[in-house]
């Protein structure tokens, strides 16, 4: 039965043929087909570029593209592009950035930009013997990638270090060739992986084919970059006197707010359930900048969460200290971002985003993304520790709810006015629309 439903050769069909097949399988109406086609880009060249990013493309999936203005980092003002579907994220980033702009803005420092790649292999011979060959082998391996690395070296990057690691404590006969790279302004995945595949071939050849060793052959399991980049790290922070928080919430003093905020970060430091949500809010901002600039947000998230668990317990990515009345609040994390290569120049909107940021180099983009992450964390904790998250969130969500109930423009205007001082929920919006549609007067 299932076999009859298996489609073969789908990828070889044209886009129209793919759509036709989909329509016949799913019973799509001509209107549904037109709706799918309506998301195609009007410029066929642009559409072709988009189609070629991926496989089996049938249409585009739109996300809102917004801007957080007033992001001040090390004295420079940025308008930061953000792509995200969740309401409130850009508002929180913008509010947080504006708030700190009046207090000196964000300070940020890139601590390092090194990336790692690994050849994982199984070796049943004597490790010391293999190690004794390593100086000679390393030279041969590096020679193999000379053509690939020459270009990167011209840009100031390349291979920084290569070592053999004994991992047999963790897994029988398991070793690694661990290589450190500087990929300059590119994210560098293709560069690193191409080098690693060469090193793997060279390693196999050296050990299995050059005749110095006669035991069981060395077996390469895989060669791939690591998305965990603890040496590609940025630290971003803000600071002020606690008394400067005096106007932040009418129900508490600046000192009380600072202490409550500090407690909220401490809770995310000790409790994994809270830490995951706390860090998710930071990645709301970072991912949105990564998406807008054509970067790989999955890699960035995987790295950030691994880093958050680096001490053996998943914990908060931000830290707060209050000393002598001074509030210091920071975010330190690895973010491997690129500003050249990949989608950064191919995707028209990614290209535009980078232009909007003044075509930064990768370290500057690390600072921008982390500042937005910190702004989002500040915005979330500020709401959570004062009036709660739902007032602002549901206000932002109001339009989504109105659209769900098919509200027209007039109803939307009236709803926005009404819900300025009424609590937003699905029920309250449904009741409001029902009254409006029944001709009742609503106050
Ligand atoms: C929602 O997307 C993010 C928050 O839950 C983050 C947080 O709780 O810190 C508001």
**Using a 6 Å CB cutoff, which residues line ligand 1?**
86, 277-278, 280-281, 284, 380, 384, 389
Domain that holds residue 175: 115-225
Q: Measured in whole angstroms, how far is the alpha carbon of residue 23 from the centre of its chain?
A: 34
Rounded Cα distance between 70 and 106, Å, is: 11
Shared-domain flag, residues 105 and 252: yes
Rounded Cα distance between 1 and 22, Å, is: 19
In the reported structure, the alpha carbon of residue 278 is separated from the centroid of ligand 1 by a whole-number distance in angstroms of: 6
Rounded Cα distance between 389 and 335, Å, is: 27
Shared-domain flag, residues 130 and 244: no
Query: Residue 149 domain-assigned?
Result: yes
Shared-domain flag, residues 73 and 179: no
Q: Average pLDDT in the 295-321 region? A: 98
CATH number for the domain spanning 81: value is: 3.90.770.10
Residue among 92, 263, 272, 284 to mutate when testing ligand 1 (max atoms within 8 A of CB): 284
Assess whether 86 carries a catalytic annotation: yes
Shared-domain flag, residues 21 and 126: no
Shared-domain flag, residues 174 and 255: no
pLDDT of amino acid 443: 67
pTM over 0.85? The answer is yes
pLDDT of amino acid 389: 80
pLDDT per residue as tens digits for the range 241-260: 999 999 899 889 999 999 99
In the reported structure, the alpha carbon of residue 281 is separated from the centroid of ligand 1 by a whole-number distance in angstroms of: 4
Q: Average pLDDT in the 137-143 region? A: 97
Domain tally, the chain? 4
Q: Which two three-digit tokens encode residue 130?
A: 């293999």
pLDDT per residue as tens digits for the range 150-166: 999 999 999 999 999 99
Last residue within a domain, chosen from 225, 258, 284: 225
User: Whose alpha carbon is nearest atom 4 of ligand 1?
Assistant: 281
Query: Residue 52 domain-assigned?
Result: no
Shared-domain flag, residues 402 and 300: no
Assess whether 296 carries a catalytic annotation: yes
Query: Residue 262 domain-assigned?
Result: yes
Q: Are 327 and 242 in contact (CB under 8 A)?
A: yes
Shared-domain flag, residues 314 and 234: yes
The yes-or-no verdict on residue 413 having pLDDT over 60 is yes
Assess whether 51 carries a catalytic annotation: no
Shared-domain flag, residues 332 and 208: no
Shared-domain flag, residues 170 and 249: no
Query: Residue 51 domain-assigned?
Result: no
Last residue within a domain, chosen from 368, 387, 406: 387
Shared-domain flag, residues 304 and 287: yes
Q: Which two three-digit tokens encode residue 284?
A: 């709301």
Query: Residue 47 domain-assigned?
Result: no
Query: Residue 249 domain-assigned?
Result: yes
Closest atom of ligand 1 relative to the 268 alpha carbon: 9
CATH number for the domain spanning 145: value is: 3.30.70.420
Query: Residue 49 domain-assigned?
Result: no
Last residue within a domain, chosen from 351, 368, 387: 387
Query: Residue 236 domain-assigned?
Result: yes
Confidence bin at 441 (pLDDT 50/70/90): low
Shared-domain flag, residues 330 and 408: no
Shared-domain flag, residues 149 and 257: no
pLDDT per residue as tens digits for the range 270-293: 999 999 999 999 999 999 999 999
Rounded Cα distance between 439 and 443, Å, is: 13
Q: Which two three-digit tokens encode residue 67?
A: 């801007």
Average per-residue pLDDT for the chain: 95
In the reported structure, the alpha carbon of residue 280 is separated from the centroid of ligand 1 by a whole-number distance in angstroms of: 6
């Amino acid at each position: 039965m299932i076999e009859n439903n298996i489609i073969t050769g789908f990828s070889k069909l044209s886009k129209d043929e793919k759509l036709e097949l989909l329509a016949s399988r799913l019973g799509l109406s001509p209107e549904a087909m037109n709706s799918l086609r309506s998301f195609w880009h009007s410029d066929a060249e642009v559409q072709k570029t988009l189609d070629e990013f991926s496989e089996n493309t049938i249409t585009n999936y739109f996300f809102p593209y917004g801007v957080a203005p007033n992001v001040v980092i090390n004295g420079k003002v940025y308008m930061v592009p953000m792509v995200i579907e969740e309401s409130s994220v850009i508002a929180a980033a913008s509010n947080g950035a504006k708030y700190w702009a009046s207090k000196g803005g964000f300070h940020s420092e890139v601590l390092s930009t090194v990336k790692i790649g690994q050849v994982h292999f199984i070796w049943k011979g004597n490790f010391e013997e293999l190690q004794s060959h390593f100086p000679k082998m390393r030279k041969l391996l590096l020679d193999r990638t000379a053509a690939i690395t020459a270009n990167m070296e011209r840009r100031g990057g390349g291979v920084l270090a290569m070592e053999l690691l004994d991992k047999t404590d963790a897994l029988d006969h398991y070793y690694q060739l661990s290589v450190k790279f500087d990929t300059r302004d590119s994210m560098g995945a293709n560069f690193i992986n191409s080098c690693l595949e060469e090193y793997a071939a060279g390693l196999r050849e050296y050990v299995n084919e050059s005749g110095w060793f006669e035991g069981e052959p060395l077996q390469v399991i895989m060669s791939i970059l690591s998305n965990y980049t603890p040496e590609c790290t940025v630290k971003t922070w803000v600071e002020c006197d606690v008394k400067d928080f005096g106007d932040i919430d009418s129900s508490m003093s600046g000192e009380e707010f600072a202490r409550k905020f500090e407690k909220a970060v401490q809770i995310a430091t000790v409790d994994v359930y809270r830490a995951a949500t706390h860090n998710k809010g930071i990645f709301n901002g970072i991912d949105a900048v990564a998406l807008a600039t054509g970067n790989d947000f999955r890699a960035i998230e995987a790295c950030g969460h691994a880093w958050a668990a680096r001490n053996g317990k998943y914990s908060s990515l931000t830290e707060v200290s209050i000393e002598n009345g001074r509030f210091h609040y920071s975010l330190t994390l690895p973010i491997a971002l690129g500003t050249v290569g990949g989608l950064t120049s191919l995707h028209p909107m990614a290209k535009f985003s980078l232009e909007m940021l003044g075509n930064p180099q990768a370290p500057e983009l690390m600072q921008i993304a982390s500042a937005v992450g910190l702004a989002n964390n500040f915005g979330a904790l500020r709401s959570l520790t004062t009036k709660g998250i739902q007032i602002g969130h549901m206000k932002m969500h109001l339009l989504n709810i109105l659209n769900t109930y098919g509200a027209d423009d007039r109803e939307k205007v009236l709803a926005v006015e009404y819900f300025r001082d009424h609590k937003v929920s699905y029920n309250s919006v449904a009741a409001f629309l029902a009254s409006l549609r029944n001709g009742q007067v609503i106050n």
